[in-house]
Structure 1
Amino acid sequence: MSRKPMILPNALFLVFMAGTFVFFYLKGDASKSSYALTSFFCGFVPHLLTYFAKLQLKTPLVLSYLGFLFASHFLGSILKWYSLCWWDLFLHFLSGVLLVFAGTAFYCCLVPEKIRKAVPARFLFVFLFAFPVLGGVIWEIYEFSMDTFFGTKLQFGGNSDTMTDLIADTIGGFIIALFTSVQAKKKQKQAEGAGSLDEHLS
């Protein structure tokens, strides 16, 4: 995507999180101000990937990323929505969706357009589906490591929490990966049909 569409949502998010940080810092709430500050710096990630890694980030990916930060850090950690039994699973479902968007961005960056037209839709599905599955596993390893070495309680439900989180990641990623691959197959068939028509008319 172009830079201009990224500026407005990023700017609004950064201003909001900066204001949240100042508000809780002045109130002396170190925990909530740290969450806000973390979100503020994470809000620069789309810009860094665009300017330095030269990735063409599309609107759904950027908006999903910012929405996930808002939902997890502000609603979840600052407003304590994690106390809701379904909130953590909902965010893991969203993270599966987000990771497929990220996989799509990397795919479009790494694979030239001419080659993408010939890539089987089944391969695209496997490639995209691997992102939420691997991302979910890495995140659970992180939570386990933090609980083991630093005494945190990220995996408050033990093995049950780990497995339900992974299932939610997988379901969210599966739905979007399947939808994306089906759409890619439709486009390939349309392109093949157009090609056959051109050959017939020539």
Structure 2
Amino acid sequence: MELREHKSSFFVYFILRLFVIATMILQLFRGNYENVFLCILTLVLLVIPSLIQVKIKIELPTALEIIMLLFIFSAEILGEINAFYIRIPAWDTVLHTLNGFLMAAIGFSLVDILNRHERFSFELSPAFMAIVAFCFSMTIGVLWEFFECGMDTFFHLDMQKDTILHSITSVMLDPNGGNVPVTIKGIQDAAVNGQSLGLGGYLDIGLYDTMKDLFVNFIGAAVFSVVGFFYVKSRGKGSFARRFIPRLKNKDKDFLSIAAENSDDAEHEGARVEKETENGE
């Protein structure tokens, strides 16, 4: 019943799953066991949207679910294993912008879901809901950058990609030891321990990448927060925002509970018929 309800998203999931399995087999033959682990992780992540709908009983709009599946595939298989982060400079920027957009949508849904919960009940104006969604998205973005920094610090994965700079400014270059920033322009090369890096400039260690990621996350979060604001203000009449905001499942769409109830009814009916048969005998 879930498959019939979400034919498009299941088709995308099925195709992406085949690609991931094919990639995993190829990486296994090549002996790239770290990439094999990434493929296994991707397969697990691809199942999460379905688990959310079936187990937690939260309905994910088809558009949102498909974007989530493509996002996972693009980040892990295309970005990491096929090195799209290096081959396509804007790849990371696009994904972080999309992440800010999606997390703002989820932030909107959290307010709505909590408001419908039996133990929680509160109402926020459209402006406050937009602020909550924006802050939620930015918090997720910051936590991800913490994760990247931790991976780089302890496991040397270089998740925070470096940037080649041709000028730097620092108060540490002040010859008088004061707090006066000194700028070096036109940097064409940098050397470490007397050996040239051969990069054509000075190597920044992740700072610019982190700030760029947070900035584009900010843009994505701000865009959807504005869209969500007008969606809530119009009492949910906007069709665009509705495609990205999760909501609680309606009882007639909670197929797992319906199946369980039908199974219980069948068992009770079977027990009743068996008891009547025994009494007739």
Question: TM-score scaled to structure 2, two decimals?
Answer: 0.60
| Segment of structure 1 superposing worse, 34-43 or 137-146 | 34-43
Consecutive unaligned residues of structure 2, counting only runs of 5 or more, are: 163-205, 238-281
Task: Give the number of the structure whose residues are more often strand, by fraction.
Answer: 2
Structure number with the bigger relative contact order (C-alpha 8 A, sep ≥ 6) is 2
Aligned pairs (5 A) from 1:191-202: none
Aligned pairs (5 A) from 1:144-183: 144-157=149-162, 158-183=206-231
Aligned pairs (5 A) from 1:64-83: 64-83=67-86
Number of equivalences: 187
Structure 1: which amino acid aligns with 2:46? G
Structure 1: which amino acid aligns with 2:221? G
Q: Find the aligned partners of 2:15 and 2:109 in 1 and give their Cα distance.
A: 23
> 2:125 is matched with which residue?
120
Structure 1: which amino acid aligns with 2:105? F
Task: From 88, 94, 110, give the equivalent of 1:90.
Answer: 94
> 2:235 is matched with which residue?
187
> 2:257 is matched with which residue?
none
Superposed displacement of residue 25, structure 1: 1.7
Q: Find the aligned partners of 2:36 and 2:220 in 1 and give their Cα distance.
A: 30
Structure 1: which amino acid aligns with 2:136? F
Q: Find the aligned partners of 1:175 and 1:138 in 2 and give their Cα distance.
A: 20
Cα deviation digits, residues 122-165 of structure 1 (max 9, x gap)? 01101111122001100011111112222221123322111111
Task: Give the number of the structure whose residues are more often helix, by fraction.
Answer: 1
Q: Cα RMSD over matched residues?
A: 2.6
Which secondary structure state, in structure 2, belongs to the residue aligned with residue 111 of structure 1?
Answer: helix
CA shift in 2, pair 1:89/1:62, >3 Å: same
The answer as to whether partners of 2:138 and 2:217 remain within 8 angstroms in 1 is yes
> 2:25 is matched with which residue?
22
Superposed displacement of residue 167, structure 1: 0.5
> 2:271 is matched with which residue?
none
Q: Find the aligned partners of 1:67 and 1:103 in 2 and give their Cα distance.
A: 20
Q: Find the aligned partners of 2:108 and 2:60 in 1 and give their Cα distance.
A: 9
Structure 2: which amino acid aligns with 1:155? Q
| Segment of structure 1 superposing worse, 122-131 or 154-163 | 154-163
Cα deviation digits, residues 154-182 of structure 1 (max 9, x gap)? 12332211111100111011101111111
Q: Find the aligned partners of 2:16 and 2:46 in 1 and give their Cα distance.
A: 7
> 2:46 is matched with which residue?
43
Task: From 46, 50, 53, give the equivalent of 2:56.
Answer: 53
Which secondary structure state, in structure 2, belongs to the residue aligned with residue 43 of structure 1?
Answer: helix
Task: From 99, 103, 115, give the equivalent of 1:99.
Answer: 103
Task: From 7, 16, 19, give the equivalent of 1:13.
Answer: 16
The answer as to whether partners of 2:108 and 2:130 remain within 8 angstroms in 1 is no
CA shift in 2, pair 1:185/1:28, >3 Å: same
Q: Find the aligned partners of 1:188 and 1:142 in 2 and give their Cα distance.
A: 35
> 2:202 is matched with which residue?
none
Cα deviation digits, residues 30-53 of structure 1 (max 9, x gap)? 243332222111101112212222
The answer as to whether partners of 1:55 and 1:106 remain within 8 angstroms in 2 is no
Question: TM-score scaled to structure 1, two decimals?
Answer: 0.81
